Amino acid sequence: MAEEENFAERLVGGAIRLYARNADRAAMPTNRRVFLDSVVDKRKDPITESSFTPAELTELSNVVAAKYAPLREPVNQYAAYLQKALASHAAAVKAKNPDNAMYPEAVAEYEKDLAAIQAFNAGKLTQDFLDLAQGQQTRFRSGAMHYASKAGQDLRSAFNVKPSVKYEDYRSDSVLQPRSIFSSSPSAMLQTTLGRFNYAVDPKTGGLVIADSYDFNPPPKPWSNTGSLPAQPLNEGDLAEPVGHGAYGLIRQWAGQRMPPGTGRTVRIETNALAPPMQNNLVK
């Protein structure tokens, strides 16, 4: 069995190298070009926003923006409470009534959250909003969310959006099937190049930053031919699609042996297309 696998791997490797030598890299889909540059040519320079087309960067913006669509109502409910509380505080200060005024630390936190929500409603993600959206609690935020609740709804449960993209966050036009590596849609290009990743907002530029690595985790065994993710979670930043049999399974195994975790290329993508342009209910 081992001899058959080694022979198959040699055939796959030879075919990939032949394709890499003769194909026009400039005309290739992004996922194929990055794969050949990284695995065959063993390039170590960082993968940046210049590696992707404008359409793919726009789709990246949309994939992230879509994660925050369910927060539209909760954040506005929370913002209404913050505005009311800050107005009441301002009135107490003007009337020199300290008993009805808030602590300075509470005022600062309320103003910070309100500014983040206002930026979000204007179509821009900030790091403060990412922190708020994932439910990061501060000294006064938990109480404010409690009092902002209506009809028994605890707003704290709505703020649970983690700053990461997983396979299920990509659009339905890139259904997780082994053959999706051959799709040419912008969503499929991202899915089969970036896979899962974390993101943050650069405090200096305001752009969205994706910091990751391009390498391949060892395929889980037994391999699945269902096109579904394996039961055990893959590491964050894994670039592989669900592993299957056939051509993609062989390519995936060959690549994983040549570029296991920790041996690949750094990914650092910053795009000011994002932070993001969230018109039309957050997704263009």
What pLDDT, in 10s, does the model give residues 141-160? 988 988 888 756 678 888 99
Examine the domain organization and report whether 208 and 149 are in the same domain. Answer: no
Examine the domain organization and report whether 95 and 233 are in the same domain. Answer: no
Examine the domain organization and report whether 62 and 75 are in the same domain. Answer: no
Examine the domain organization and report whether 148 and 239 are in the same domain. Answer: no
Q: What is the pLDDT at residue 182? A: 60
Q: How confident is the model at residue 107 (pLDDT cuts 50, 70, 90)?
A: very high
Number of domains in the chain: 2
Highest mean pLDDT: which of 64-73, 90-99, 173-182, 220-229? 90-99
Examine the domain organization and report whether 55 and 41 are in the same domain. Answer: yes
Neighbours of 25 (CB within 10 A): 12
Examine the domain organization and report whether 173 and 114 are in the same domain. Answer: no
Per the structure, the complete domain to which residue 143 belongs is given by 69-157
Q: How confident is the model at residue 27 (pLDDT cuts 50, 70, 90)?
A: confident
* Separation of alpha carbons 72 and 117, rounded Å: 9
Q: What is the pLDDT at residue 220? A: 53
Q: Which stretches of 136-237 are assigned E, i.e. beta strand?
A: 164-165, 197-201, 208-214
Instruction: Choose between 130 and 256: higher pLDDT.
Output: 130
Q: What is the pLDDT at residue 10? A: 81
Residue 93 has pLDDT above 60, yes or no: yes
* Separation of alpha carbons 104 and 178, rounded Å: 56
Examine the domain organization and report whether 49 and 174 are in the same domain. Answer: yes
Examine the domain organization and report whether 114 and 211 are in the same domain. Answer: no
Q: What is the pLDDT at residue 239? A: 39
Instruction: Choose between 281 and 139: higher pLDDT.
Output: 139
Residue 191 has pLDDT above 50, yes or no: yes
Q: Tens digits of per-residue pLDDT, 76-89?
A: 999 999 999 999 99
Residue 225 has pLDDT above 80, yes or no: no
Provide mean pLDDT across the span 187-216: 87
Domain boundary among 157, 173, 194: 157
pTM of whole model > 0.75? yes
Residue 42 has pLDDT above 70, yes or no: yes
Examine the domain organization and report whether 147 and 188 are in the same domain. Answer: no
Examine the domain organization and report whether 145 and 74 are in the same domain. Answer: yes
Domain boundary among 130, 157, 184: 157
Q: What is the pLDDT at residue 218? A: 63
Q: Could you say which DSSP state residue 38 is in?
A: I
Which has the closest alpha carbon to 25: 13, 36, 17?
36
Taking all residues of the chain, what is their mean pLDDT, rounded to a whole number?
79
Residue 234 has pLDDT above 60, yes or no: no
Residue 277, domain member (yes or no): no
* Separation of alpha carbons 264 and 260, rounded Å: 7
Indicate the burial class of 206 (C-beta count within 10 angstroms; 0-12, 13-18, 19 or more): middle
